[in-house]
Chain A
Amino acid sequence: MTHILYIEDDREIGSWLSQELQEKGYEVSWLRSGEGAESYAHQADLAILDVMLPGLDGFSIGKRLKRDNSSLPILMLSARTAVEDKLEGLSFADDYVTKPFHPDELAARIEVLLRRFQKNDQTIELQHLRINTKELHIVNIHTNEEILLTGKQFLLFQCFIRHLNQILTKEQLYEQVWGESYIEGDKTLMVHIRYLREKIELNPSQPTIIETIRGIGYRVKL
């Protein structure tokens, strides 16, 4: 079970969100201050931190947790919305959500972070595909056969799975997969997407898994 370390001093909000997260299937350790956070951090898959806390503030706690364990995704959840606060938060944290937030939006962001950091061993079904999001093991449900991808196709699909439901622009995809700046007019990405579609789509000429969002980019929608 995915374990979330949640630090929030407000009793009402803390209790409500802990319950919501537990209902969504997470194990939650809720603390009302940063005291003792380190002892929970080593077993946590993700940390959600408020900023204004008694004693050490959320920024200091977050920096400390990140320093001790860089693979721990940290989500700042704060009522402080100033640009300076967001910039300070995002200097070490992986996401910054402002209050009042919608629990569904928070849950979606938690999922994205867990996927990005490969913390959840989740199997999702995407049309005719069954995908293990951690190992990116892809099986065609219709034939029960595994779909094998080449190196770049794997990285490309991994990128889509880590950013499920998000539109990724050509530049973002190219930079994440090839690790270089995208040069306008380069067809490499399109060619690889075509090959990937040929492997995973039922009808590659009318793709339904990797959507083309005209003028913006591509998206894999769950």
Chain B
Amino acid sequence: MRKLFGSLQAKYMIIILFALGLFQVAYIGGAIAFTSLSNQIDQSDTPEFEEVENSWHAAADRTAADEAGVEQLYKEWSERFPEAGMFWISSDGQLLSSWNVQVELQHQWSQADIVAFMKSRYGKDPYTVVAFVGGDEQNGFVVIELPRELFQSPYMHVYDQFGVWLLGGIFIILVIFIVISYLFFRSIRKRLLHLQHAMSRRNDDGLPEPIHVKRPDEIGQLEHAFNDMVGQLNDGRQRELNEEQIRRELIANLSHDIRTPLTKLRANAYTVSKFTLPDEASAALQTMDSSVRHIDELVDNLLAYTLLSSAQYRYEPKLLQIDRFLREHIAAWYAVFEQHGFEIDMRLSELHSTAWEVDPIWMKRMFDNLLQNVLRHACEGKYVAIETEACQGYDAIRIVDRGQGMDAMTDNKGAGIGLSIVQMMVEGMGLTWQHYRRNDEFIVEIRRQADMKITMNN
């Protein structure tokens, strides 16, 4: 039972029934009040047209055609109808006397005046009856004027007196119904909006938070269902985090297990290289050292690729001043290129925007891979340049070398994991890239749309 009345549907039905009941009560109550009020008014007091007409005729017939007789008639009828106006016109059209007439009467009436008077009063207000005095035309006629409202029914009287209150009462009932309905829907709307807000709110893990369920109605059930969903999402997220942690640990341990023997290999090669060795042995040691370096890079790329392809590589975009980043990054690489006899050219021109919303670690990794590529595959060109340019609709960063390009086969060509990482990182940061030839130069161009929106403040 409690559950039934706890539901919104039941509450809504109660409001509707209450409204209907209220209307019924109002109508019935109104009718009762009307009837009792109208009953209080004596219906016998209400004159009827025909009766008044006949009575007036009969009274006029009985009246003596002198001033005292007519005066007596006036008095009698004014007692019954205080609102009545009466006057007497002689057979030759002269106004002989009048009683309580509100308008000024003319003293001399022509036949035309009499006809006009009759026409003007026929069926109009006041109700007018004309009768000959003493039943003889020679005595002239007496006229009685009565306001038509005297002939109204008691209901009409009650309506005139209390109609406004009745309408006011109905209006108040309507307003009460509207207010109750409004409050009811407002409370529903408020709770729905609260639910919507709770659904769109996210915690640090990017998941919605459970909400406090206040009532056991339909919205409360929806909130319960939402909380269940949040619980499942949290469980899923926790599982995902655990798996991610296990995967990270595995990768870190794997990386450690591969790199430790590589370190020993390199240590031994270094120790041996300090002795005077024949040329062939020195060359073999150098090859061993570069192989160690190569395996190290390969392992690093492989692990990064695994993490990236499973969306486990941490991505934390920040506003990066790209010109500054490029200068600092090339500064770090400068000595390596210099050691390999490269000419290094830095041509940074103004961009549409130097603030790029990217992950600095991703950018560093991406440029490391591209510059590593230049070092490995374009060494014979002995030239590397970094250019920036504001082009039509986009900003471009170019890495220029004088090598054979990416499609060329070189001794060090691998499976292309390094470039696959670049590809995934470029896409992940909302950038694009392409490579092409310009005369004898090979160019890798990274583009950022000029109208790309920045979502963060710092």
Contacts and interface: CB of A to CB of B under 8 A. Distances in A.
A105 B31 CA distance: 106
A167 B248 CA distance: 35
A28 B335 CA distance: 29
A101 B263 contact: yes
A84 interface: yes
B255 A216 contact: no
- Chain B interface mostly: helix
Contacts of B331: 166-169, 213, 216-217
A172 interface: yes
A214 interface: yes
Interface string B328-345: 101110110000000001
Contact of B256 (A16, A79, A167): A79
A166 to B, nearest CB: 7
Query: Is the interface on chain B under 10, 10 to 19, 20 to 34, or 35 or more residues?
Result: 35 or more
A80 B260 CA distance: 10
A127 B52 CA distance: 142
B303 A81 contact: yes
Contact of B334 (A52, A81, A103, A213): A213
Nearest to B267: A16
A212 to B, nearest CB: 12
B347 interface: yes
Interface string B245-268: 000100110011111101111111
Interface residues of A, number: 34
B313 interface: yes
A84 B252 CA distance: 10
Contacts, number: 92
Interface in B271-328: 271, 292-293, 296, 300, 303, 313-314, 324, 327-328
Contacts of B328: 169, 171-172
A12 B265 CA distance: 10
Nearest to B347: A215
A12 B263 CA distance: 10
Nearest to B359: A83
Interface in A90-113: 98-103
Contact of B314 (A84, A98, A216): A84
Nearest to A15: B267
Contacts of A146: none
B251 A99 contact: no
B252 A17 contact: no
Interface string B166-202: 0000000000000000000000000000000000000
Contact of B259 (A79, A169, A171): A79
A82 interface: yes
A198 interface: no
Residue among B251, B293, B331 with the highest chain A CB neighbour number at 10 A: B331
A43 interface: no
Contact of A98 (B259, B270, B330, B346): B259
Contacts of A68: none
B252 A100 contact: no
A188 to B, nearest CB: 17
Contacts of B324: 169, 171
B361 interface: yes
B418 to A, nearest CB: 15
A10 interface: yes
A165 interface: yes
Given A12-B267, A215-B347, 6 more contacts: A52-B256, A79-B256, A82-B255, A84-B248, A215-B327, A215-B348
Interface of A: 10, 12-13, 16-17, 20, 52, 78-85, 98-103, 165-169, 171-172, 213-217, 219
14 contacts: A13-B260, A13-B264, A81-B303, A82-B255, A83-B314, A84-B248, A99-B259, A100-B267, A100-B292, A101-B266, A103-B270, A168-B331, A215-B347, A217-B327
